[in-house]
Structure 1
Amino acid sequence: MDNLALQCRCGQIKGRAIKVNPADGTRVICYCKDCQAFAHALKAGAEVLDEQGGTDIYQLPPARLQIQQGLEQIRCLRLSEKGLYRWYAGCCNTPIGNSLAPRVPMIGLIHSFIVDPEREAKLGPVRACVNLRGATGQIPKSQLDAAPARGYVGKLMLKILVWKLSGQGRPNPLFSTKGQPLASPHILSPGEKL
C-alpha cells in the first residue's frame, strides 16, 4: 500500500491519503450535473471536467485522509440544504472532494487535489462511469465497456459497510468528533459562482 500526495493549486493546503491501493478504494468518473455545477462554481471546469463533463474521483474512507497543512483554508459548499458536502481550497478554489454526511465513512477525492506523480499506478483504472445522463458529450464506448456502472452501487455500499465496521470512518479531518463540518457550508444559490 502506498501514500498519495495531495495539494491544492497554490500549495497552501497539503496532505496525503494513506494506504492507497486500487483494491481498497474505488475510482469512478461521475458525469452528474451536480459535480459539473461544483466545478463551474469554482471556475475550475477546465481543470476538473473531462471532454464529456466527467469528474475523476477516488473514493476512500476518511481515516485514510490526512491534511498536514492549511486546514484553515478548507471551505465547504452544498448545492442544496441536503446536498453533498463539497470541499474546496478557499485560497485558490481547488476542488478537494465530496462527502455524503459525517456518519457515512467515505470521501471522494477529486483528481485536481491529487498531485502524486504515480497517481495512475496507485489508484488503478477507473472502475465505473456513473450518472451517464449528465454527460455533456458522447462517452467513448471503449471507456464505458472498461468501466461499466452495473454493479457499482452494490460494491460501493459493501466497501462503505466494511469501512464503517472496521472503524475507518474516524478520524474524519473534515468533520469534528461531534459531526460538525470543519467549515460552515455555504449553500450555493442558483447561478452563483464563488
Structure 2
Amino acid sequence: MPDVPFSCPCGEIKGTLHGATPTSGNHVRCYCSACRAAVLYTTGVDVEDRGVELYQTTPDKISFEQGQENLAVFSFSPKKLLRYRASCCGAPLFTMLPTPKFALAGVMTDLLADKTAIGPVAMEAFVPQPDGSSKHTSVVRLYGGTMWRALVARITGRWKQTPFFDIATGKPVAEIYVPTPEERARLPL
C-alpha cells in the first residue's frame, strides 16, 4: 500500500499518510455547512457549492516528520468535530471526533502530494437537494467503512496510536479553541 506525503501550504508541517488506497479509506466530498464553515474560517475562502474533499482513515495511518507543534485545534462547539489547522499558515488539515476512542481522521485531500493513490471521490455527504434537504451517496460504504475501521482499531488497540491526542488524558495535543459568537456569525453554520 502506498505511503503519500502531505504538507501544509507553507511547508512547516510535513508528514505521511500510510497505506493510502481507495479501499483502505473513504475519499469523500462533504457539503455540510460545518465543513464549508471550517474552510472559510481557516482560509477566508468560501467553497460554496463545491464541497470539501476528505480522505477518511484512522489516526494511526498518519505520522509527522516535522511541524507537529504547529497543530492548532478548533471546534464550533465543545462536543462537535475537532478541526485541526496549521498555526503557521492557517490551512485546514484534519477533522476527527472529540475522543480518540473512535478512531477516525479526515485528511484534507489538498494536502496530499499525490491524490491518485486514494482514487476519485467515491461518496458524497450532505449533498444539497432541490427541496432543501440533503442526502448521502454510497451510504453503506461511507458509514460501514468508517465503523469497520474504527472497530478494528479499537479491538487491536491501534486507536491509541494517534498523533492528535494525549492518550493518558484523552485530550487533543493542542488546546481547543471555540470561535466566538461574532466569528461564528460570519460563517454559513
**Which band: TM-score by shorter chain?**
0.7 to 0.9
- Tell me the matched-pair count: 179
Structure 1 unaligned residues grouped into runs of 5+: 136-143
What is the TM-score with the length of structure 1 in the denominator? 0.83
Counterparts of 2:129 and 2:7 in 1: how far apart (Å)? 28
- State the match for 1:141 in structure 2: none
Counterparts of 2:41 and 2:178 in 1: how far apart (Å)? 12
- State the match for 1:76 in structure 2: 73
- Aligned-residue offset at 1:134: 8.9
- State the match for 1:174 in structure 2: 164
What are the residue-to-residue correspondences of 1:72-111 with 2, within 5 Å?
72-100=69-97, 101-111=99-109
Q: Extract structure 1 runs of 4+ deviating beyond 3 A.
A: none
Would you say the 8 A contact 2:75–2:82 is kept in 1? yes
- State the match for 1:119 in structure 2: 115
Judge which range, 164-173 or 123-132, deviates more: 164-173
- State the match for 2:187 in structure 1: none
Counterparts of 2:50 and 2:183 in 1: how far apart (Å)? 19
Would you say the 8 A contact 1:5–1:17 is kept in 2? yes
- How large is the RMSD of aligned CA atoms in angstroms? 2.4
- State the match for 1:37 in structure 2: 37
Identity %: 28
- Aligned-residue offset at 1:188: 1.3
1:69-103 Cα distance to aligned partner (Å, 9 max, x none): 01111100000121111000000011111011221
Structure 1 residues 33 and 184: CA distance shift in structure 2, 3 A: same
Partner SS for 2:124 = strand
Structure 2 unaligned residues grouped into runs of 5+: 185-189
- Aligned-residue offset at 1:44: 4.5
Structure 1 residues 134 and 15: CA distance shift in structure 2, 3 A: farther
- Aligned-residue offset at 1:158: 2.1
Partner SS for 2:18 = strand
1:53-79 Cα distance to aligned partner (Å, 9 max, x none): 411000111111001101111100000
Counterparts of 1:32 and 1:191 in 2: how far apart (Å)? 21
What is the TM-score with the length of structure 2 in the denominator? 0.85
